[in-house]
Structure 1
């Protein structure tokens, strides 16, 4: 972004000898995000300055950077506005100077998010990131790991409509009930990067969107015991895939203490070793970026958010390799 006239506080922090964890993280993301590709993707849909006058829109790159900050730090629209006012590091990343620039308010931040949702740009951002990774030698290979995780949604009815989100549902997992949605991902078994993502209500079985999580060139598929029977589904027939699905826990515990039983147990351990890579993207999305509970209502909004988060998690996981290429 162009040179800005920052205030004394910004200058003082930028001259500090020790860089904060946030500064290190944002400098890495600055280097690995494919800014031009994302801006070119959004620009045709972004409002232009009116010939009739009026206040010009904020620069697209500034709004994109603010939106990514929201995803990385799990901030609501009002909290994002406050952070831009209070945190010099975030202002600098967004390219905002308190002396010369207006700071987008929460309504402007909300409008940009709605633009991404209405134009289905979340999925396109995810695809643009995949193309960027492929161009840098991180193409998806022959193996895929599939899994799903639950994202909680507010179960309270203390809101304007006095009802829970009608597009979210409850499900029982491990003898505990959860209300919310599921994020289903397909991960490359070699790199651990996400190549496919789907969102459903929490009560949808993991097997239902499984076929949509394949990139089409797999020779082997890894999955946990929740995907038992996947090889019998019509949408999985004739794909030439070798299925490596975990044995049900109860059956594994009942394996006999014989040479054959010990071999079967070692095979299950080997399957689990491969499947472990699918947990890393979930850890990044839920722990690193804080997306454990959604504040947005409806699947359209959450689908957009999840696609953006999937792309950002890929960039985060691949950042060291990408930084070596810059």
Structure 2
């Protein structure tokens, strides 16, 4: 059967009408603004003009954002670009266009880590958000989420050496070294054990945009990076966080920095919360819970994410890209709401 002249156009229109977010993401995000930071990746002298030209850096960055939004591996990403019309339209590709393979996608992401670009790209987009009128307002909320990585099968002696900061790499083959994540750590939450990293984020109350973040191993307590990611530029001095962040020292430090702390209280066996304290928790929770909407939005689209990278430096790239992708998605939502 021969295809009609407008068959693909009609199919894309159908996808748009039924909730495809990518046309708005393509139209509203200023992708070309990132070119200056990204071009450093190919900023080296070519030995000759032989061979294919590298893929456009902005298109490759868009691929990484897609990957973060939908939690796709490099191989899945290559396949989905070939298979999905919505992805091709977002990337500006035709049916006969050359598509980056999985290794090219992996290499480009590695270049982001090599040139330390993820944080620069995050800050670049946040500056654009502020210029567009979405400045941080009505206070800020801080929380962290655990991001798992595949469990390592180490001996007890190997684990003890890794915890001490001296992984026994001299006893490992090159193949084994490539599969061993010596930066990830175990932690326990609500009686369950998790192995991986933490994505500590700070969002503003009004817009629910991630204003700052920090990646650590999972064993680092949430309160250890609390003050590192607070936003001095928020129009309000109110700070909201759950009971894990509450301590006399933190409250004193926040007040010294002219912040107004709104930290949840937690009862214990010998000291139950009073009715007044419970009411205060309920009042604070109505605002603090807005950060759960952020984690929920990420997980709703990407699912239960397990990082397949090795080491904290690549975890910073993957999770940094995920934070950028969320902010882009959130920006489009806010723009449509305002319209």
TM-score, normalised to structure 1's length?
A: 0.86
How far 1:20 sits from its partner (Å)? 5.8
Verify the 8 A CA contact 1:50 1:56 in the aligned structure 2. Answer: no
Which of 140, 147, 151 does residue 136 from structure 2 map onto? 140
Residue 274 of structure 2 is aligned to residue 277 of structure 1: no
Residue 61 of structure 2 is aligned to residue 61 of structure 1: no
Q: 1:321 to 1:232 in 2, by over 3 A?
A: closer
Which of 227, 230, 244 does residue 245 from structure 2 map onto? 227
Partner of 1:182: 198
Q: 1:164 to 1:115 in 2, by over 3 A?
A: closer
User: 1: distance between equivalents of 2:232 and 2:302?
Assistant: 29
How far 1:244 sits from its partner (Å)? 1.0
Residue 173 of structure 2 is aligned to residue 161 of structure 1: no
Partner of 1:119: 115
Verify the 8 A CA contact 2:141 2:202 in the aligned structure 1. Answer: yes
Verify the 8 A CA contact 2:34 2:121 in the aligned structure 1. Answer: yes
* Equivalent residues in 2 for 1:307-318, closer than 5 Å: 307-318=320-331
SS at match of 1:161: helix
Partner of 2:82: 85
User: 1: distance between equivalents of 2:92 and 2:43?
Assistant: 19
Moved more, 38-47 or 13-22: 13-22
Verify the 8 A CA contact 2:34 2:58 in the aligned structure 1. Answer: no
Which of 203, 211, 229 does residue 195 from structure 1 map onto? 211
Q: 1:49 to 1:307 in 2, by over 3 A?
A: same
Q: 1:221 to 1:297 in 2, by over 3 A?
A: same
Gapped runs of 5+ residues in structure 1? 1-6
Residue 143 of structure 2 is aligned to residue 151 of structure 1: no
Verify the 8 A CA contact 2:146 2:196 in the aligned structure 1. Answer: yes
User: 1: distance between equivalents of 2:280 and 2:121?
Assistant: 38
RMSD of Structure 2 on Structure 1 (CA): 2.9
Partner of 1:70: 67
Partner of 1:32: 28
Partner of 2:227: 211
Matched pairs, number:
314
User: 2: distance between equivalents of 1:215 and 1:268?
Assistant: 23
TM-score, normalised to structure 2's length?
A: 0.83
Partner of 1:287: 300
SS at match of 2:188: strand
Which of 238, 258, 264 does residue 246 from structure 1 map onto? 264
How far 1:310 sits from its partner (Å)? 1.2
Partner of 2:91: 94
User: 1: distance between equivalents of 2:217 and 2:287?
Assistant: 27
SS at match of 1:254: coil
User: 1: distance between equivalents of 2:197 and 2:313?
Assistant: 12
Residue 7 of structure 2 is aligned to residue 12 of structure 1: yes
Q: 1:274 to 1:252 in 2, by over 3 A?
A: farther
Q: 1:111 to 1:22 in 2, by over 3 A?
A: farther
Verify the 8 A CA contact 2:71 2:305 in the aligned structure 1. Answer: no
Which of 148, 153, 171 does residue 187 from structure 2 map onto? 171
| Runs of 4+ that moved beyond 3 A | 7-11, 20-23, 47-51, 156-160, 230-237, 249-256, 323-326
